[in-house]
């Protein structure tokens, strides 16, 4: 039975057992974990607090060596770790390997950043004085991650936290703890001092609550639901802790009359249905102008219905299972809501019968929708896409921006004029032209606007804004 990692050791939390089920085959138990609680979370915070002063003043070379080791081992084991990820989350094997590869490169990127932490020296306006502007670690960072990217999202939070000299208390999702444990096991052999990195596997009501409420945790980064994020923001603000939130998305993809039809259909299928639609950047709303609408719908439905749904590790599978019973139930509830609202079901909408008992759902398309419908405004987080018909680009832009979210936004067009206009006027943190809305490089900033994100960006050099504090120091030369 696997355990949490606290103060340099894997420790058991008792007899409360968490079973990690394979969504492709519910009879298969991927792993069993000793479920931790508040006491273990408090122990992890104490260990991180004790380790913070020394790690905060560690050398760039120490940080580089640890992060580079972690990244190298992840990449050397990408097939093994990718298969593990696919077993517990339901991504297809190529997607699982791809996610693990991204995690490895994230650690490699921040290994390089560790030896490039810069500063500034300025002349003061007062004669004889100089000003040094430097970055210092925040201290102890609480990291709470979701189930849909069980190694990449932890990587893009843990790597910069360690890079900039912070200590970490990490709570992975209880739905997918095996990838997190594998990452923690690699980190345990990277040469980090005890207490610098800690992982606690347990429920949010105990472990997450202890992390969020601790005065010793100076910053909390969270990816998950809007409601939980709002609660975390309030509690962190009350005690003056830094907070970074990545929340939901209801991402639009506009297809204009001048778009390359085959390319636009591929972009919509990949963005809407790959990873079973379980990406905050998935394009769940497709907005198509009149002139191409009928041709697009025909090809989109045909290509969607041809997708092969099946077990994650089957090499013929294109769409794996939904990750959990609760998520499948939510997807089916939204499909019913769409029908009740008057949307027309063009494809999918039902569970898939398979040889193995799993959470399989047909990729689903609804047409005849409008932006007042819940199916167009609320995040489903599954393989469910709506398609609306509009008259022109201006109407499409207005509909695309008519959402409480603003994470990712896309357009398919061969017009430079519309592409440039859309990049500027789409109300989203990330914009894609002739590319799926899902999929962001590891070295560039990730984040959105409106209800999708709060606080500094993740990834790339912009991560320093959250994981460090800026200090201004004056010196007068006598």
Provide the token pair at 178: 């095996």
Q: What is the residue whose two structure tokens read 């000003």?
A: 131
Name the active-site residue from 236, 280, 376, 412.
280
Task: Please list, in sequence order, all residues whose beta carbon lies within 8 angstroms of the beta carbon of residue 11, skipping any fewer than 6 positions away.
Answer: 3, 4, 5, 40
* Contact between 326 and 23 (Cβ < 8 Å): no
- How far, in Å, CA of 428 to CA of 406, rounded? 4
CB atoms within 10 A of CB 399: 18
Please confirm, yes or no, whether 246 is among the known catalytic residues: yes
Please confirm, yes or no, whether 280 is among the known catalytic residues: yes
Residues serving a catalytic function are 246, 280
């Amino acid at each position: 039975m696997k355990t949490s990692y606290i103060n340099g050791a894997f420790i058991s939390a008792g007899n409360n057992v968490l079973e990690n089920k394979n969504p492709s085959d519910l009879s298969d138990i991927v792993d069993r974990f000793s479920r931790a609680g508040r006491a273990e979370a408090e122990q992890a915070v104490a260990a991180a607090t004790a380790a913070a002063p020394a790690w905060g003043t560690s050398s760039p070379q120490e940080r580089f060596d640890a992060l580079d080791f972690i990244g190298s081992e992840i990449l050397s084991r990408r097939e093994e770790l990718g298969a593990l990820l696919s077993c517990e989350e339901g991504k297809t094997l190529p997607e699982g390997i791809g996610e693990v590869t991204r995690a490895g490169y994230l650690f490699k990127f921040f290994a390089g950043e560790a030896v490039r932490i810069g500063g500034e020296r300025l002349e003061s306006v007062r004669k004889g004085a100089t000003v040094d502007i430097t970055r210092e670690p925040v201290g102890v960072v609480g990291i709470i991650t979701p189930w849909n990217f069980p190694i990449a999202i932890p990587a893009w939070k843990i790597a910069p936290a360690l890079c900039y000299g912070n200590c970490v208390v990490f709570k992975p999702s209880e739905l997918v703890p095996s990838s997190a444990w594998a990452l923690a096991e690699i980190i345990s052999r990277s040469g980090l001092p005890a207490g610098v990195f800690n992982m606690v596997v347990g429920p949010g009501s105990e472990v997450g609550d202890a992390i969020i409420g601790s005065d010793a945790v100076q910053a909390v980064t969270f990816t998950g639901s809007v409601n939980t994020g709002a609660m975390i923001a309030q509690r962190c603000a009350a005690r003056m802790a830094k907070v970074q939130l990545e929340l939901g998305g209801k991402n639009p993809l506009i297809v204009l009359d001048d778009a390359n039809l085959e390319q636009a259909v591929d972009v919509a299928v990949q963005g809407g249905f790959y990873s079973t639609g379980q990406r905050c950047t998935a394009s769940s709303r497709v907005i198509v102008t009149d002139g191409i609408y009928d041709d697009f719908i025909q090809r989109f439905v045909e290509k969607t219905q041809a997708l092969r749904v099946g077990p994650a590790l089957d090499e013929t599978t294109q769409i794996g299972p939904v990750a959990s019973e609760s998520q499948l139930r939510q997807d089916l509830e939204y499909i019913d809501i769409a029908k009740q609202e008057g949307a027309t079901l063009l494809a999918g909408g039902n569970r898939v019968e398979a040889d193995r008992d799993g959470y399989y759902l047909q990729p689903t398309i609804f047409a005849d929708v409008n932006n007042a419908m819940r199916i167009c405004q609320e995040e489903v987080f599954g393989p469910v896409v709506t398609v609306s018909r509009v008259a022109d680009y201006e109407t499409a832009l207005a509909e695309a921006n008519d959402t409480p979210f603003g994470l990712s936004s896309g357009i398919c067009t061969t017009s430079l004029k519309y592409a440039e206009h859309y990049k500027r006027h789409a109300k989203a943190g990330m914009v894609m032209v002739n590319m799926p809305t899902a999929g962001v490089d590891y070295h560039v900033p990730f984040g959105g606007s409106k209800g999708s994100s709060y606080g500094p960006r993740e990834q790339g050099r912009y991560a320093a804004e959250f994981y460090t504090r800026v200090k201004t120091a004056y010196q007068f030369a006598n």
